[in-house]
Chain A
Amino acid sequence: MNWLLWRQHRNGAVVFLAITLAFAIALWITGVHMAHLYDSARQSCTVGSGGACDRYLGSLFNGYGAIIDIVHLTLVLPVVLGAFLGATLIARETEPHTNVLVWTQGVTRRRWLLTKVAFALVATLIAAGLTSVLVTWWSGTPNSLNGDRFQGAQFDTQNIVPVAHALFAVALGIAAGAVLRRVLPAIATTIGVFVAARIVVAVYLRPRYAAAQLLSTPFNGPVGGAQLAPGSWRMSENVVDPSGHVVNGPLRVPNSCVAGSRAGADSCLERLGFRQVVKFHPASSYWRFQWTESLLFVGLAAILTAVAVLVTLRRDA
């Protein structure tokens, strides 16, 4: 059985290891450079002390666009694993009927299936885990600079969430292959459902893993509302009227505040009780969110794996 696993997956394993090795080298070299650059830049100027310093820091990594893009590209690793490892795991046998050959040798269907599934999930854990370790280490510097690890692509590609996404994608692929039995439909289904699930979770569920916090600033204060600590997840900024409702669309200035100047109007609205409110999750919630999303996707992965195993064991070959 071990020989069979190796024989069937050796090409993919070799390709993946080669790419990962190249990736690791690139990250190591650039990561070390970027850290040095950032350290020496910080010594020579202080953040927030003036526009020039901020601008200098903002353009510090302009030459590193390529590696930054490549790191962001690891966002697709889960779906790639799901399509090429997960969806093909069972479907590549059922489609040409080699499953009949393999299931009538001296290894039971149950043992074949559990070994293959365990292999796929462990391989995914290692592949995604390794990638995440590299990316998270490398991202230490950009995270410090940009303070954005709680957002978007950064949240999805660092620490444990990418590993959970990958396990979900692979389990989804295995289930799709088990149910559909043909490789291309399984791949298409895996990609489609994975993308849909990720969008739904990221847009509707993730913001609600904890109650959002609100920070209110004066209406006539700096536009855009409060400045948050680095590493927070800024969700939205809105104008809120005196009764606490969010103002959508253009603000209708009440007649009592129509005045000659903008500043005057702003002060008037401020006195009436209009505020700017920023909705956010504090940086301290980062790990809670990582764990919540990871457990959600790992739970889904477990269910999908169970479905795949049951369907494959019960059905006629």
Chain B
Amino acid sequence: MTAATIETTGLGKRYGSTWALQDVTLTVPPGRISALVGANGAGKTTLLRMLAGVATPSAGTITVAGQHPADDVGFLRRISYVAQDMPLYGRWKVADQLKLGTELNEDFDDAGARERLRALSIPLDRKVAALSGGMRAQVALALALGKRPDVLLLDEPLAALDPLARRDFLSTVATAVVDRPLTVLLSSHLLPDLERICDHLIVLAGGRLVLADDIDHVLATHRVLTAAARDTTALERVHDVITIQRTPRQVTGVVRVGAAPLEPDWDVTEVSLEEIVLAYLGVAQSAGPPATAPASLTLLREER
């Protein structure tokens, strides 16, 4: 029972002649809570569905805990997948929903799931459709965690939840990771929420992988550089400039700073994770101090 590594090589998915996901090669180290971030249509759901074995890749390979996703019990036992609309049997009572877990899985942790729901005051004899969005999410999560997976895949679990429900949901996910070694991958638009709980970041744009790294490392290696208007070719040659903004008087850029030293006339400031992600997603940020009021990622344009 160890946390599992997720690895993909050249992964792609095509619908007709359109590639929804293309050439994605990444490794998620075990035990991480990873944020999967990107605009609508960037390929997040497509990626998660392939990792769960629910959709087949058009190209490339996937390994989850050393296994290729397949329709066999050995693989199914390692993963839990909560799809985007959190499908549950609405007309069933919560208790029946858990019974589904017991009946369809060997070694389902029924007592743990019930305890989790009891601690959240979720009534076991209420019909699932009659629960609030937050409670439904907790039921879906209890079912997923009761399976004792090594990998937990959550597709936009926070989307329909109010702030309090979001916090409770994330709290449940985080405490689950304390209990057992678990690799979590959750997709969302809401970066501030993800930032608290995640330690690894994967950014998709237009079906391609744009960034995949530990959050600490991302924050440590990216900076906002500001200077009076000037030529930036020297800078761009040596460092990885993500975006650059020019006004007649000033030049500002988000840069992944390499080993080489920076010219002294660059003013260097730390940058928030949100700004880094937005930079990678190609949204222009106005020059200024690092993010004070974080703009929500739901304001993102569709990736071209």
A and B touch in the complex (CB under 8 A): yes
Partner of A106, one of B56, B90, B147: B147
By a CB distance below 8 angstroms, the chain A residues around B55 are: 316-317
Contact between B54 and A1 (Cβ–Cβ < 8 Å)?
Answer: no
Chain B min CB distance to A236 (Å): 54
Binary flags per residue of A32-54, CB closer than 8 Å to B gives 1, else 0: 00000000000000000000000
Q: Which residues of B contact A (CB under 8 A)?
A: 49, 52-56, 71-73, 76-77, 79-81, 83, 85, 87-90, 92, 96, 99-101, 103-106, 108, 143, 147
Is B147 touching A105 in the complex (CB atoms < 8 A)? Answer: yes
Contact call B56/A316, Cβ cutoff below 8 A: yes
A256 within 8 A of B: no
Whether B76 pairs with A96 at a CB distance below 8 angstroms is no
Tell yes or no: A262 within 8 A of B by CB.
Answer: no
* Residues 76 to 119 of chain A near chain B (Cβ within 8 Å): 96-98, 100-110
- Please indicate the chain A residues that have their CB under 8 angstroms from the CB of B100 in the complex: 4, 102, 105
| Interface pair B87/A98, CB less than 8 Å apart | yes
* A–B Cβ pairs within 8 angstroms, 29 of them: A1-B103, A3-B103, A96-B87, A96-B90, A100-B54, A100-B83, A100-B87, A101-B83, A101-B87, A101-B88, A101-B143, A103-B54, A103-B71, A104-B52, A104-B53, A104-B54, A104-B76, A105-B76, A105-B100, A106-B73, A106-B77, A106-B108, A107-B73, A108-B71, A108-B73, A108-B76, A316-B49, A316-B55, A316-B56
The digit string for A181-197, where 1 denotes a CB below 8 A from any CB of B, is 00000000000000000
Shortest distance in angstroms between A272's beta carbon and chain B's nearest beta carbon? 72
- Which residues from chain B contact A109 at a C-beta distance below 8 Å? 71
Tell whether A55 is near chain B: CB-to-CB under 8 Å: no
Tell me the complex Cα distance, A104–B52, Å: 8
A210 to chain B, nearest CB (A): 47
Complex formed: what's the CA distance from A98 to B86 in Å? Answer: 9
CB A38 to nearest CB in B, in angstroms, measures: 49
Interface string of A300-317 (1 = CB under 8 A from B): 000000000000010011
Q: How far is the CB of A15 from chain B (nearest CB, A)?
A: 16
